[in-house]
Structure 1
Amino acid sequence: MSGFALVPSLLPQLSEQWTLSATEGGWLGGIFFLGYIVAVPLLVGLTDRIDARRIYLACAALSSIALSGFANFADSFAAALGWWWLAGLALAGTYMPGLKALTDRLPVAAQARGTAFYTATFGVGAGVSYLWIELLRDRLPWADLFAVAATCSALAVVLVWCAVAPEEPPTRSAFAGSRWHSVLRDRRVLAFCGGYFGHNWELFGFRGWLVAYLTWTHASAADRWTSMPGLIAALATFLAVPASILGNEGAQRWGRGRWLRSVMPLSCLLALVVGFSGSQSNGLLVALVLLYAFSMNLDSAALTAGLLTETAPDKRGTALALYSSVGFAGGFFGPVAFGVALDAFGRASHDGWTAGFVTLACGVAFGRWVIGSIDAPPADASHH
């Protein structure tokens, strides 16, 4: 995950170097997730038939290749799109397959909590990514930062190769087509997928533009609160860790559907509050941004653990493939919609940034609407 924040953190610099519009900047941020959704149905679906560890190792190596390619060959907007797309494709083979590799090796009683901690480490990795890039981006050329991240991905290959033992492939109990048919007919799976789409629309739209937003804020009214935007972005991302764990615990205590229908509107409201808070002091604005960052992750692990624990083991990889595809489609649309709104209302104006945050509110509002069916009985109840 060390390379995850490279483009969001360097977006102001890359936009200036290649004279990008806000819409093009949104595409550069979103193309990562387009690569993800292209590959994830195949790669995660394969985990029902082969050991997920093998897929993880191959795609962690691919991540290193993609980041090295960006460092050496991304000399234009078009080239950067291609290499960053490939990096997103590599994530498709590490994130959810890594989760599948973990849950396949855990007892059933530990799977929900293990999922919450695993998804929280996504936030840890993303936060560390923002942090180290903030500390080094004034000391190293941007291409060298990509090279550092490529080295870290290669180290991840070594770590998992040495520390995670291989397993026998799962029993092939059903034809892949029948698994897909069963998953697509399960209303609860579809509800979790739609909720995850809205969550990622908001989350990755926010992360993709946060450094640029804080940079603009600092340029408008410079002060110590916004002088290191990458540090604020890292802190906002680290907050995903306690929020995800708390969210899963809250869902287990008060009911998953009830929890999700409560926290998602809260996040929607805070998106609007941040968007319309340009006249506040930067200190108050940063506090609101951090509160908003915490709130938007209260649904993450609750959604993912809900999908995993309510899906039969032999269909879990297929369900995760659908869940990731739909969810990370939101990760693609979020940054692009934010950029389009910025161009439409003015990148240099408060109205433009307000419009961008409104798009985030729309994303999570959609997710909340879909979650309205979370308590409906599944069409395929054979696993109950």
Structure 2
Amino acid sequence: MPPARAQGTTLVVIMCLTQATGLLGMGVLPALLPGFIAEWSLSGTQAGWLNGVFFGGYMASVIVLVSLTDRIDARLVVLGATALSFLSMLAFGLLAEGFWSALALRALHGVGFAGSYMPGLKVLTDRLEAKDPSRGVAFYTASYAIGGALSFYFAGKIDALWGWPAAFALLSLGGLVAFLLVWLGTAPKPVVHDHEAPLLLDFRPVFRNRAAVGYMLAYATHTTELMAAMSWTVAFLTFAASLQPTAALGWSVTLIGAVATIVGLPASVLGNEGARRFGRRRFISVVMVVSAACGACIGFSATLWFPLVAGICILYSALIAADSASLTAGTVMAAKPEQRGATMAVHSFVGFGGGFMGPLAFGAMLDLAGGADVVASWGVAFAIVALVTLAGPFFLARFSGEDEVKGS
């Protein structure tokens, strides 16, 4: 079967690769954040803005971009968005020279992410012929870990060789590869309306879907924790290493950040399988409580033996990711077919509201609690963000009803 007619497993692979390559630029700034803090004299709050504004750009555009996929082929949206991601990353490497220019270009990159992540999922689900698409959804949402891990790893390596501008410029090519994968690997699929098309930005039917709303709100608490941890883990590890240089000698914090990201892939896929077997709402709720408990402790561990600190960070990353695919799959499966694009738009907007606030709140708490050179400040910042996750089980119980337990 030629790539342009990809279906089934081949289609899932192509869209997972699109997701992974498109995210090669996402982790560059978090991976190199300690250097930017020093070079540009950033406060914790400013560093939080540079991380969070990526998701601010996402929020500002995702409602329109994803809603459009109920009216036009999602493939067109993804093509435009991956091109924008490539250009914004390249421009960061060539033009960014301080807080404000970096802020604008990070926001623009967030718009590119908005037009590729959920619309890419819709490219997949629109072309999958399966009653239960949750496995395909799980692999797609989990594949962010591949791109994120490679982003952290290569950002550190390229920065060490040629500096951060080269890291941004070279990893911007991931957006170009993603564009080519979608262009060459998927066929156009015109939207067929079996029902009267809803108004473009009329989300009232979505909010009447209580099951979907529960998963969206829980997803917001999840992304608050996920994006704060992704944005600040390397900086935290750099701080922890500075407290015990002998124990940390020879350790690459960007490599640890890459490992912490890549464990999200098996954790997310296996988490969805656990949700299918034990009940989606029940499984997600347990994972969120355990993840929040780990997050409440992690910042205070900075003075421990450095390999142990690194291991705790990796475990925490896996726990956060374990419910990621399950939450998105829950929303997709709860959505009515004719409202799937609008439902995914609201899911993204509400969810990544947490993605915007998480890194920003973390940085602000770091400043308010005493600064980035105080162990207790890191403990408070991690704990405050992690404890937000405890609202997730409440939202699921309040809105999403009873579990349907499936066999393997």
Q: Greater shift after overlay, 50-59 or 176-185?
A: 176-185
How much has 1:374 moved relative to structure 2? 4.2
Give yes or no for the alignment of 1:205 onto 2:197: no
SS of 1:276's equivalent in the other structure is: helix
Alignment partner, residue 380 of structure 1: none
CA distance in 1, matches of 2:155, 2:302: 26
Q: How does 1:268-283 map to 2 (within 5 A)?
A: 268-283=292-307
> Quick one: structure 1 residues 192 and 226, their matched pair in 2 at CA, closer, same or farther if it must change by over 3 Å?
farther
CA contact 1:51–1:170 (8 Å) conserved in 2: no
SS of 1:170's equivalent in the other structure is: coil
Match of 1:313 among 327, 337, 349: 337
Q: How does 1:158-169 map to 2 (within 5 A)?
A: 158-169=180-191
Q: How does 1:1-384 map to 2 (within 5 A)?
A: 1-109=23-131, 111-171=133-193, 173-177=195-199, 180-222=203-245, 223-224=247-248, 227-345=251-369, 346-376=371-401
How much has 1:367 moved relative to structure 2? 2.3
CA distance in 2, matches of 1:226, 1:27: 31
CA contact 2:63–2:346 (8 Å) conserved in 1: yes
How much has 1:226 moved relative to structure 2? 7.5
- Structure 1 unaligned spans of 5+: 378-384
CA distance in 2, matches of 1:8, 1:257: 31
Cα displacement string for residues 35-85 of structure 1 (whole angstroms, at most 9, x for unaligned residues): 001110001111111111110000100111111221122112101000000
CA contact 1:225–1:286 (8 Å) conserved in 2: no
CA contact 1:48–1:170 (8 Å) conserved in 2: no
SS of 1:171's equivalent in the other structure is: coil
CA distance in 2, matches of 1:153, 1:294: 26
CA contact 2:295–2:387 (8 Å) conserved in 1: no
CA contact 2:227–2:359 (8 Å) conserved in 1: yes
Cα displacement string for residues 90-118 of structure 1 (whole angstroms, at most 9, x for unaligned residues): 00000000000001110123511100000
CA contact 2:210–2:400 (8 Å) conserved in 1: no
Report the TM-score, using the length of structure 1 for normalisation: 0.95
CA distance in 2, matches of 1:96, 1:226: 39
CA distance in 2, matches of 1:230, 1:206: 14
Report the TM-score, using the length of structure 2 for normalisation: 0.89
Provide the alpha-carbon RMSD of the alignment.
1.5
> Quick one: structure 1 residues 306 and 252, their matched pair in 2 at CA, closer, same or farther if it must change by over 3 Å?
same
How much has 1:364 moved relative to structure 2? 1.1
CA contact 2:213–2:400 (8 Å) conserved in 1: no
Q: Greater shift after overlay, 211-220 or 272-281?
A: 272-281
Report the identity percentage.
37
- Structure 2 unaligned spans of 5+: 1-22, 403-408
CA distance in 2, matches of 1:362, 1:170: 43
CA contact 2:222–2:392 (8 Å) conserved in 1: yes
CA distance in 2, matches of 1:206, 1:16: 20
How much has 1:172 moved relative to structure 2? 6.2
CA contact 2:32–2:156 (8 Å) conserved in 1: no
> Quick one: structure 1 residues 225 and 36, their matched pair in 2 at CA, closer, same or farther if it must change by over 3 Å?
farther
CA distance in 1, matches of 2:196, 2:229: 40
Cα displacement string for residues 269-316 of structure 1 (whole angstroms, at most 9, x for unaligned residues): 010121232342112211111111111111111111111112121111
